[in-house]
Chains A and B, each alone.
Chain A
Amino acid sequence: MLHDLRFRFRALSHRSKVEQEMDEELRFHLDQLTAKYRHRGSKPEEAIRLARLELGIEATREECRDARGVSWFEDFRYDLRQSLRQLGRSPAFTLTAVAILALGIGANSSLYSIIQAVLLRPLPYPDPQRLVSVSATVDRQPGAPVSPPDFVDWQSQSRSFESLAAMFEGRPVNLTGIDEPERISVARVSAGFFDVMGVRPLYGRVFSREEDQPGATATVVLDYDLWRRRFASNPAIVGTPVLFDGRACQVIGVMPRGFHYPSGQDGWIPLAVAGMQRWGRGAHVLSVVGRMRSGATIPSANAELASLSERIARDHPQTSTGWGAHVEPLRDLVIGGSRRALYILMAAVGMLLLIGCANVAGLLLARGAARSREMALRASLGATRGRMLRQLLTESLLLAVGATLGGLLLGNAILTAARPLLATTVPRADEIVWDGGVTLFSAALALVACLLFGMAPAWRTARAVRLGEVLGGAGRHASARPQRILRGCLVVAQVALSLVLLAAAGTLLKSVITLLRTDMGFDPENVLAFRVSWFPPAGLNPDQYGDAMTQFYDSAMERLRSVPGVESAAAVATLPLSGGDVYVPFRIEGDPPLPLGVEQRVDQQRCTADYFRVMRIKLLEGRPFDSRDTLHSPQVAIVNDAFARRFLAGREPLGQRVNFDDGHGERVIVGVATAVRHRSLTLPPRPEIYLSESQWPSSGMSIVVRHSWEAADLAESFRNAVREAGHGIPIAQVRTMDSVIAGSIAGRRLLTLLLVAFGAVALLLTATGLYGVIAYLTTQRTQEIGIRVALGARRSNIVGLVIRHSLALAGTGAIIGVLLYAALVRVFEGRLAEIRGTDPLAIAGTVALLLLVTFAACARPAWQAAKADPLTSLRCD
């Protein structure tokens, strides 16, 4: 045994020496044999021939290697050397193949790194499988916010949760008292929130139940990034006050780096849910997260909350009939709709890689055809088919290794480049990393790809062809047919897959264009928007806040209008298409009372007088808000036409009175405006009601400014105007209205952009693949074409012949592609909101594009075939 190992070791470590010795040994034998034949009277050449025939050098060497037990490794080394030489001899082929595969692998790997972080990895909190989100259900539809009394009941009565916490939408505050005031946003969370998440602060502590009460001293826990940016990472900040809207707020802790839940917040302040109880059970405003007790499951928690909801509905039929609760893993809430988009993208890059593999397989086949002589020669020298197969697959493996390295570089580059985009379109973007798992995935993918693109061509190329056939030229024809069929199939597959990609991209593109073209009810062009939050100056009596706010906004509008280039300016509580809408119950005076459990709600807006002018929202009836509407004049409202149709059918809207039960009494409708797509570009406008800012002031507003020309530093002028209007109040998020609209469909736009890019790459690859096959076929048929021309065929006939052939390939691929796409859409019907149905126009466009590319790809081969001299082509073989 020991000897065996030593022998094998020597055979491996002194490989070349052992090989050399073996060759010398065999040569000695051959010489002796030759001498023997000569001795018997053969001529020298004849003797050599006979000796070689008897010994069979190549096969013997092979068997000796086997006997030494090292042949596998040795063959591999040999193949490796041979393959490197072969690939180095045709750098154009090598580079093309590696580039195509690297593109596929890079795209797949970078997407995998995203999917791994977003979809596969558990949330970065302790025992993440126990974290859930609880939403309210209306008629069994989950996803609605929870009312404060319901939350308190769940919290005190349910047994499924270790802790349950509520969150209210982020509160915009102005961080003041430091050199440059800044508008930030803090999350309002209940005291149990940090227990639920299971995260301890980096410095200090989090708030207690006592601090989470109305009237308690104001406290804040800072986000790591804000602490680093504005407080120079100074731990001594803990225990000192900061100024929020000019009022002291005690910093009690700093959360560790990377803790960003809910995302986009700069800190956490107590929610004081006890103070919200008077809002009632109809006020669905809270998000609820919970940590399940160990042993509790999602179904058991759901069952418990269902019975709890029933009890609440029995006790409070007026407000709670039809409402329930729904528990789901927190991860599902965090991931949201991005799961679908990511899977669509993964399918797309998967197809891209498949197309790349088919393409490279085509290249390898073409190369194989050119190497048939080499293969036949090796076969006649005793190399088996398996041996040659291995040699060819080694070449593929080398390509795959190159592609992996390229793919790693490219994938990393893609990820780095995409990071800023990802941060705004994908949840958990800060968790996306390129780790060992991704690298492993790339390598595994390359291996699979290697088999995919390498196997068939290697099998074809390594088939046993008799040397005579190849040398005589006959082999070329003997092998041409299966070769042609295989390459044709590869091209058809590429065309079909490209079509699927392009059809999906086309459908999406059309939907985005349609969306951007829809009449939104307002004119976003030349409108800039930014956010402002008013806060009271020191020493102001709270009774005067309302007037002070209105004064501030009036004065700010005044100053903004005097900025050069500005036509008009107005303020609105929530900007269209940017979320955060207010949805409130109301009734119309004189209407019969609603049946039990039925609620009537409407989107509520607050704006200043000029809002309709700035946004160019048409008033159909009545008047806009104006200086007549003050805190002390009769309360007025403007409704949109959707509201008039839905709630005031057949009645004259002007003069009707609505009541929100908000302590402001009833409001008279003084105008009717065109409906605006406020919530979403994809949904038709909803009923909406506008209130005047001057009658119900609001501290946080968005300001919209219509300008006639783009002056330099408009944003800076706005900043100065607002600062002067009110004791240094800052502005934030200056954007064009167009970008607000684009932002509302950012995810869909990015998905479209990526799919179009992938489709373009796929098309390019397919075109080169098609070109390769057509060019090969025309060369193959040179003789036939020569005969045809000699027999009087015209050039146009020849061109037609080539084009017919190309169209047959592309057409077959296109038909398969359309069927495949239709099948995929059918399978995923309803699950993919982004790609719904088969848009005939988009598909027709895609097919047309493909045919165009087909013509482009076969133009050169067709032309060359047509101008070929019949005499030369007949002499070709």
Chain B
Amino acid sequence: MADRLDLPQGTLDMLILKALALEPLHGWGISERLQQISDKALQVRQGSLYPALHRLERRGWIEPEWKTTDNNRRAKYYALTRLGRKQLETQASAWQKLSAVVDRVMKLA
């Protein structure tokens, strides 16, 4: 756990969108998914996940739906909207460009 990374400002939203791109998930699922994909390198602070979800919902990028989980509990699932999918594409390409540039600068300097 020592080399856990802090998320740069604003990237949490993008990661949530990415996590939801495959299938609708509840909050817990998103946090587990992010941990799993990043091979536990990324630790989303539990407290900041939900405010981010509510913020994305307010913007209309994700859409909630109450569903029953496998072990029969009601949970709030979030799904990507069309607006959200478009947003993800924009943000992803912006991120790729930015990281490439930052990468190059770091190597050259």
**Of A4, A24, A55, A64, which is within 8 A of B59 by CB?**
A4
Which residues of chain A are within 8 angstroms of B28 by Cβ–Cβ distance? 28-29, 32-33
Which residues of chain B are within 8 angstroms of A63 by Cβ–Cβ distance? 47-48, 50-51
Which one of A65-73, A722-730, A848-856 is at the interface?
A: A65-73
Cα–Cα distance between A60 and B48 once the two chains are bound (Å): 7
Closest A residue to B75 by CB, please name it.
A28
Contact A7–B57 (Cβ < 8 Å): yes
Q: A68-B54, A68-B58 are in contact. Are A55 and B47 (CB under 8 A)?
A: yes
The reply on B76 being an interface residue by CB < 8 A is yes
Closest A residue to B55 by CB, please name it.
A67
Q: A28-B26, A32-B28, A55-B46 are in contact. Are A7 and B76 (CB under 8 A)?
A: no
Q: A21-B76, A28-B76 are in contact. Are A64 and B58 (CB under 8 A)?
A: no
Q: A4-B60, A25-B27, A28-B26 are in contact. Are A67 and B75 (CB under 8 A)?
A: no
The reply on B74 being an interface residue by CB < 8 A is yes
The reply on A56 being an interface residue by CB < 8 A is yes
Cα–Cα distance between A21 and B57 once the two chains are bound (Å): 14
**Of A24, A32, A66, which is within 8 A of B76 by CB?**
A24
Contact B76–A64 (Cβ < 8 Å): no
- Among B52, B58, B83, max chain A CB count under 10 A is at B58
User: Which positions 12-67 of chain B face chain A at CB distance < 8 Å?
Assistant: 26-28, 31, 46-48, 50-52, 54-55, 57-60, 66
> Main SS of chain B's interface residues?
helix
The reply on A476 being an interface residue by CB < 8 A is no
Which residues of chain A are within 8 angstroms of B66 by Cβ–Cβ distance? 21
Q: A60-B50, A67-B51 are in contact. Are A25 and B76 (CB under 8 A)?
A: yes
Number of interface residues of A (CB under 8 A): 25
Cα–Cα distance between A326 and B2 once the two chains are bound (Å): 92
The reply on A664 being an interface residue by CB < 8 A is no
Cα–Cα distance between A68 and B52 once the two chains are bound (Å): 10
The reply on A435 being an interface residue by CB < 8 A is no
The reply on A59 being an interface residue by CB < 8 A is yes
Contact A4–B58 (Cβ < 8 Å): yes
**Of A8, A26, A54, which is within 8 A of B58 by CB?**
A8
The reply on B104 being an interface residue by CB < 8 A is no
Closest A residue to B64 by CB, please name it.
A21
**Of B31, B50, B58, which is within 8 A of A25 by CB?**
B50
The reply on B107 being an interface residue by CB < 8 A is no
The reply on B4 being an interface residue by CB < 8 A is no
Closest A residue to B61 by CB, please name it.
A3
Cα–Cα distance between A198 and B55 once the two chains are bound (Å): 66
Which residues of chain A are within 8 angstroms of B52 by Cβ–Cβ distance? 67
Chain B 58-101 near chain A by CB (<8 Å), digits 1 or 0: 11100000100000011110000001000000000000000000
User: Which positions 1-46 of chain A face chain B at CB distance < 8 Å?
Assistant: 3-4, 7-8, 21-22, 24-26, 28-29, 31-33
Shortest CB distance B16–A (Å): 13
Which residues of chain B are within 8 angstroms of A22 by Cβ–Cβ distance? 50, 54
Which residues of chain B are within 8 angstroms of A33 by Cβ–Cβ distance? 28, 46
Cα–Cα distance between A477 and B60 once the two chains are bound (Å): 52
Which residues of chain B are within 8 angstroms of A60 by Cβ–Cβ distance? 46-47, 50-51
Cα–Cα distance between A22 and B50 once the two chains are bound (Å): 9
Cα–Cα distance between A826 and B109 once the two chains are bound (Å): 76
Contact A29–B58 (Cβ < 8 Å): no
Which residues of chain B are within 8 angstroms of A25 by Cβ–Cβ distance? 26-27, 50, 75-76
Which residues of chain B are within 8 angstroms of A8 by Cβ–Cβ distance? 58
Q: A28-B26, A32-B28, A60-B50 are in contact. Are A67 and B58 (CB under 8 A)?
A: yes
Cα–Cα distance between A28 and B58 once the two chains are bound (Å): 21
Shortest CB distance A21–B (Å): 7
**Of B50, B55, B59, B60, which is within 8 A of A26 by CB?**
B50
Shortest CB distance A861–B (Å): 49
Shortest CB distance A215–B (Å): 91
Shortest CB distance B81–A (Å): 9
Closest A residue to B58 by CB, please name it.
A7
Cα–Cα distance between A63 and B49 once the two chains are bound (Å): 10
**Of A3, A28, A64, which is within 8 A of B51 by CB?**
A64
Contact B47–A3 (Cβ < 8 Å): no
User: Which positions 49-83 of chain A face chain B at CB distance < 8 Å?
Assistant: 54-56, 59-60, 63-64, 66-69
Cα–Cα distance between A54 and B46 once the two chains are bound (Å): 7
Cα–Cα distance between A113 and B60 once the two chains are bound (Å): 53
Closest B residue to A6 by CB, please name it.
B60
Which residues of chain A are within 8 angstroms of B47 by Cβ–Cβ distance? 55-56, 59-60, 63
Q: A32-B28, A63-B51, A67-B51 are in contact. Are A3 and B46 (CB under 8 A)?
A: no
Closest A residue to B83 by CB, please name it.
A3
Which residues of chain A are within 8 angstroms of B31 by Cβ–Cβ distance? 29
A-B pairs, 6 with minimum CB distance: A3-B60, A63-B51, A67-B51, A67-B54, A67-B55, A32-B28
Can you name 6 A-B residue pairings with CB atoms under 8 Å? A7-B60, A25-B27, A56-B47, A63-B48, A64-B51, A66-B51
Beyond A54-B46, A63-B50, list 11 extra A-B contacts (CB 8 Å).
Answer: A21-B76, A24-B76, A25-B26, A25-B50, A28-B74, A33-B28, A55-B47, A56-B46, A59-B47, A60-B50, A64-B51
